[in-house]
Structure 1
Amino acid sequence: MYQKKKEFTISADAALAKVQFICSRQEKCCSDIRKKLQNWNLTPDDQDKVIESLIENKFIDEERYTNFYVRDKFRFNRWGRIKIIHHLKQKQIPEWIISTALEQIDEKEYADCLHDLLVSKMRSIKEDDSYQLKAKLFRFAQSRGFESSIILSILEDLIAGMK
């Protein structure tokens, strides 16, 4: 028989201690912590107090979080700027913080990353028609969050190099 799951509640002080531990182990943003506090059924006032305390004591820093997020998603996941921006906006990070963090991405490194991704993907695509190949590679690069202009310029070089 189905039993209703008991609701988990926690005091504000215990929640603060728990999220301080979580934030000391891994970078978190305010929206991540707020979701966790909501899951623990804290009142909105208590949530605000906990988050304010975390910010005052430097457990949460949106700029620091965003810088790490941008660097990690670009270097390890090989995401483009569009995808990174989209995910950060979902986490309710202010636009000025996002744009500042994106400036740390080196343009040459960005283009090289996209070039390597496209060369790697091109090896796995079995397509004789260059137009179809270009379309598939373009869609792939867009799904990774790269801008259309840089995708097209790199694709032109790659397709021209094949002929």
Structure 2
Amino acid sequence: MDIKSFKKKKNNKYDIFFKDGKSIELYDDVILKYNLLLDKKIEDSMYDEIILYNSSLDAYYLSIKYLSSKMHTKLEINKYLEKKEFSASIIKETIEKLEKNKLINENEYLKAFVNDQIKFTKNGPHKIANKLHLLGIEKENIYDYLSTIEDSIWEEKIKKLIDKKIQSNRNYSEIVLKNKILQSISNEGYDRNMINLLLKDYDNISNPNIIIKEYNKQKRKLSKKFDGDALEFQIKMKLKAKGFNFDDLKKHL
């Protein structure tokens, strides 16, 4: 295939025009490697090799651009290149080249990801681990690094979440509130045993106005059917079912 002309484009690319009217786009690295400026032709036997090499460069340069904004895992790069419709062999070769040139470092990615999660989110270690695993990081590596994080870091985050839940409580007894706090914080990826241990330090966390409010509510409802001791007994049973301590009520009435 005889070359008629070269036209320079952006990003180190050239349009190659052939005398038969066809054209292809190649990187300048490809043109230099195969000496196309001097030879002014591409042998039919070399055409597929040249296209393949150009495609591998394209995948590599696109990956570098993708990595320029933030770090990515091998799995993320794999998916990115798949969307660009590169072959599996080129993707594999590209990732190996990126690793060799230290443009991918999953250990550094892991550390940065965990530190950002601790600093900027309310996520606990198990939730963080799941996120990392979905990004292609090996679980063993994830938990090896998480084991280096001091328990006090997680404990401090749990305490902040507990305090926030207590401050926003408007309806629940202490027992119910603690159970809801346990479930809510464990859903964020924290260890249930650690949460339970910390919750033991929290006593009388229910707002006294809540039990009074609930007492008055039940009294209004039940007084339509009961009175006297029977009414008090029914109210007591309703409050107990909702996790309230009737003795606490006596302190506030």
* Residue 120 of structure 1 pairs with residue 164 of structure 2: yes
> Which residue identity lines up with residue 35 of structure 1 in the other structure?
K
User: Are 2:50 and 1:37 equivalent residues in the alignment?
Assistant: no
| Aligned partners of 2:125 and 2:190 also within 8 Å | yes
2:143 alignment partner in structure 1: 99
1:61 counterpart (94, 99, 105): 105
Correspondence for 2:177: 133
Give the counterpart of 1:13 among 57, 76, 88.
57
SS of the residue 1:157 aligns to = coil
Aligned equivalents of 1:36, 1:87: Cα separation in 2: 18
Cα shift readout 1:14-66 (whole Å, capped 9, x = no counterpart): 22112112223311111111110111111110110111111111111111110
Q: 1:154 to 1:161 in 2, by over 3 A?
A: farther
Q: How far apart are the structure 2 equivalents of 1:126 and 1:161?
A: 14
Question: Which of structures 1 and 2 has the larger relative contact order (alpha carbons within 8 angstroms, sep 6+)?
Answer: 1
The SS at the match of 1:11 is: helix
List alignment gaps of at least 5 residues for structure 2.
Answer: 1-53, 207-253
Whichever of the two has the greater Rg, that structure is 2
1:161: how far off? 5.4
111-120 or 90-99, which deviates more: 90-99
Select 1:109's aligned residue among 139, 149, 153: 153
- Which structure features the higher share of strand residues? 2
Tell whether the 8 Å contact from 1:83 to 1:144 is kept in structure 2 after alignment.
yes
Determine the C-alpha separation between the residues in 1 that align with 2:196 and 2:93. 49
Judged with a 3 Å threshold, the aligned counterparts in structure 2 of structure 1 residues 104 and 22 are, in CA distance, closer, same or farther, namely farther
Partner residue of 2:32? none
TM-score, length-scaled by structure 2: 0.57
Out of 195, 198, 205, the residue aligned to residue 162 of structure 1 is 205
**Structure 1: segments with no counterpart, 5+ residues:** 1-9
Contact 1:55–1:61, Cα closer than 8 Å, also in 2: yes
Structure having the higher helix fraction is 1
The alignment of Structure 1 onto Structure 2 pairs a total of residues equal to 153
The yes-or-no answer on 1:48 pairing with 2:48 is: no
How do 1:147-158 residues align onto structure 2 when only pairs under 5 Å count? 147-158=191-202
The whole-number CA distance in structure 2 between the counterparts of 1:81 and 1:51 is 28
Distance 1:147 1:103 in 2: 13
RMSD: 1.8
Cα deviations across residues 88-131 of structure 1 (Å, max 9, x unaligned)? 12122123321232134221121011101110122122233112
